Amino acid sequence: MTQAAVPVEERLFSLVLALLATETGLTKNEILSTVQGYRQRFKSGGDNANLERQFERDKDDIRDLGVPLETLDSPGDAGNNQMLRYRIPKGAYELPRDVTFSPEETALLNLAAMVWREGSLSGESRRALLKLRSLGVTADEPLLGYAPRIRLRDAAFDPLDAAIRKGVRVRFQYLKPGEERATDRDVIPLALVQYQGRWHLSAEELDGDRKVFLLRRIVGAITSGKAVTMPDGDHAAEALAGLEEVWERNVAELDLVPGSDAATRLANRDGVELTGDRARVHFVDINILADELSGFGPEVLVLSPPALRDAVVDRLRGVVAAHGRP
């Protein structure tokens, strides 16, 4: 009988718990063979290349969430990359010592944690939570030293994930920016990837072309079709490489008001090049960047590309029109 796939959040949560529970760290092989979400697909003595690539992507994901994942040389075998050990130091993943809560606040946080735990985790992950208490947290203490962050996914994620696992075609409505009506897409879903905090679908269209769709632009229900033969290859890695190439190629040049919120926030983006008050910012989607920049109002002036400048101006004019200003 085929085992049900473990949801992404559950696998990441189980990985964090496992790495928190060890002082000396775990090797990659120990993680893949024992942690929920990996062990179900681990082949003892077999080829686990795809699973290892999944682990590498998961490491990046949990680091993006602010989890301080460390890589350590294995005791007695320094320099051996095959024996590297991974851990999350407990002291680095606790709330600051000067952060305290009143009894009322603690009660509310515990209620929120209970709702999240019951609504988002399977029985196995709930049992994993209990393992934290075996680390020395007494039964009457609130479990506030650990700060899980919930990553909200688009509604299309779960049906697309199921379609990929089953190997079936899907149909959905896709609404591009600037278009009034969504268009129908009939594709073979290949992989779901997260890039810079947004979920994307890599898919193959009827004519064989590969496309990447932003999940937030999928509207309505996902309809599953007939079973298909899935193309070979590491589709997730290919999609991420393609998005990275687009990010490298697209550059916006901006003038920023010194000391403004825009200057502070944009200066901290990956790959930003600053020269005085001028910034060169890489981007993947011009409309997403236009949405962001228009929110800064007069703190940002778009110098190039012209299409981005026009998109920002259109959004600002829309705001003025919506408020009845000429």
254 beta partners: 279, 302
Query: Is there a domain that residue 152 lies in?
Result: no
Q: What is the mean pLDDT of residues 239-249?
A: 93
Measured CA angle at 283 (ends 234, 266), to 5 deg: 130
230 with 261, same domain: the answer is no
257 with 232, same domain: the answer is no
Query: Is there a domain that residue 242 lies in?
Result: no
204 with 113, same domain: the answer is no
261 with 210, same domain: the answer is no
DSSP symbol at 153: -
Would you say how long the chain is, in residues? 326
**Is the Cβ–Cβ distance between 25 and 86 less than 8 Å?**
yes
178 with 201, same domain: the answer is yes
pLDDT at 4: 56
pLDDT at 113: 59
Q: What is the mean pLDDT of residues 179-203?
A: 90
Q: 99, 133, 167: which is the final residue of a domain?
A: 133
Q: What is the mean pLDDT of residues 304-323?
A: 91
Q: Looking at 154-158, 182-186, 251-255, which range is the least confident one?
A: 154-158
Query: Is there a domain that residue 27 lies in?
Result: yes
pLDDT above 80: residue 145: no
pLDDT above 70: residue 139: no
Q: What is the mean pLDDT of residues 150-160?
A: 74
Q: Give tens-digit pLDDT for 7-41.
A: 777 788 888 888 887 777 888 888 898 888 888 88
Q: 213, 236, 259: which is the final residue of a domain?
A: 236
Query: Is there a domain that residue 146 lies in?
Result: no
**Is the Cβ–Cβ distance between 36 and 14 less than 8 Å?**
yes
Q: What is the mean pLDDT of residues 168-185?
A: 91
73 with 15, same domain: the answer is yes
Q: What is the mean pLDDT of residues 168-190?
A: 92
pLDDT above 90: residue 195: no
CATH of residue 127: 1.10.10
129 with 178, same domain: the answer is no
pLDDT at 140: 39
Query: Is there a domain that residue 221 lies in?
Result: yes
45 with 83, same domain: the answer is yes
Whether the model clears a pTM of 0.85, i.e. scores above it, the answer is no
User: Which residue range(s) make up the domain with 288?
Assistant: 250-322
Query: Number of structural domains, the chain?
Result: 3
> Confidence band (pLDDT; 50, 70, 90) for 293?
very high
Query: Is there a domain that residue 318 lies in?
Result: yes
12 with 117, same domain: the answer is yes
pLDDT at 95: 63
103 with 15, same domain: the answer is yes
Query: Is there a domain that residue 34 lies in?
Result: yes
pLDDT above 90: residue 249: yes
269 with 300, same domain: the answer is yes
Q: For residue 303, give the 3-state DSSP assignment.
A: strand
pLDDT at 132: 40
| Helix-then-strand count for the chain, H and E | 10, 12
Give the C-alpha separation, 128 to 115, whole Å: 16
Q: 190, 209, 236: which is the final residue of a domain?
A: 236
Q: Give tens-digit pLDDT for 55-94.
A: 988 888 888 777 888 888 766 666 666 678 888 887 666 6
pLDDT at 152: 52
Q: For residue 3, give the 3-state DSSP assignment.
A: coil
pLDDT above 90: residue 171: yes
- Locus of tokens 């990441």: 12
pLDDT above 80: residue 144: no
pLDDT above 90: residue 243: yes
187 with 101, same domain: the answer is no
* Mean pLDDT computed over every residue of the chain: 80
Give the C-alpha separation, 31 to 39, whole Å: 8
> Confidence band (pLDDT; 50, 70, 90) for 96?
low
Query: Is there a domain that residue 141 lies in?
Result: no
CATH of residue 191: 2.30.30.520
pLDDT above 50: residue 122: no
pLDDT at 46: 82
Q: Looking at 35-39, 48-52, 84-88, 107-111, which range is the least confident one?
A: 107-111
pLDDT above 80: residue 267: yes
> Confidence band (pLDDT; 50, 70, 90) for 138?
very low
